[in-house]
């Protein structure tokens, strides 16, 4: 029988392997997590150091664009880091999924993408533009990750999901039949 997941033998009964739980402890997730945390640190170092000097060299419009873009950048990175830390806490067993869902309502990934064009935006330092572009790339990766996690919850039979409930019942029937 084909599954959305992989089956694992466990004392004569079959159980579904939770791919997202495994993914959150995988090398790939760790790479995204490390990339996100490194980008947060690199951005903080830039904005507190060379970025201040870069901002002083800008005219009035450039300074306003710099302040706006750096605020967008830090907001985006904090939201991304919050989601990554939340998923890491769930996978480590430090937080259950119900509590994580409550916390996730405070995180809004949809509104932290690229903003509109800014007057003076063409004068922004290349270093800031690079950080912004990298944060937007990370944002897309984390959005895909979050979508995968949400889809797993929809099809896992958790909550009020008629399709998931039916899949669970079918799996239980096949487990009983195989055990006979």
**Contact between 8 and 136 (Cβ < 8 Å):** no
| 107 Cβ contact partners less than 8 Å away, ≥ 6 residues apart | 79, 82, 83, 86
pLDDT of residue 48: 96
Query: Is residue 10 assigned to a domain?
Result: no
Residue 1 has pLDDT above 50, yes or no: no
Q: Calculate the average pLDDT of the chain.
A: 78
Query: Is residue 3 assigned to a domain?
Result: no
pLDDT of residue 115: 82
Query: Is residue 146 assigned to a domain?
Result: yes
Residue 105 has pLDDT above 90, yes or no: no
Query: Is residue 26 assigned to a domain?
Result: yes
**Structural domains in the chain (count):** 1
Token reading at 31: 């790479």
- Under the banding of pLDDT at 50, 70 and 90, the label for residue 176 is low
CATH (domain of 158): 1.10.8.930
Query: Is residue 7 assigned to a domain?
Result: no
Q: Residue 77: give the domain boundaries.
A: 18-179
Query: Is residue 9 assigned to a domain?
Result: no
């Amino acid at each position: 029988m084909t599954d959305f997941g992989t089956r694992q033998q466990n004392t004569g009964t079959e159980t579904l392997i939770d791919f997202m739980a495994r993914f959150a402890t995988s090398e790939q997730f760790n790479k995204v997590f490390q990339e996100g945390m490194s980008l947060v640190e690199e951005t903080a170092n830039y904005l507190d150091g060379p970025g201040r000097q870069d901002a002083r060299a800008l005219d009035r419009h450039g300074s306003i664009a710099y302040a706006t873009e750096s605020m967008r950048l830090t907001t985006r990175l904090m939201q991304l880091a919050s989601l990554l830390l939340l998923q890491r806490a769930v996978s480590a067993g430090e937080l259950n999924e119900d509590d994580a869902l409550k916390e996730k309502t405070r995180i809004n990934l949809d509104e932290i993408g690229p903003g509109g064009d800014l007057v003076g935006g063409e004068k922004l330092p290349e270093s800031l533009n690079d950080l912004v572009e990298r944060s937007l790339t990370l944002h897309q990766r984390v959005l895909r990750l979050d979508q995968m996690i949400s889809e797993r919850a929809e099809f896992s039979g958790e909550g009020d999901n008629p399709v998931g409930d039916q899949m669970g019942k079918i799996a239980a029937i096949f487990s009983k039949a195989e055990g006979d």
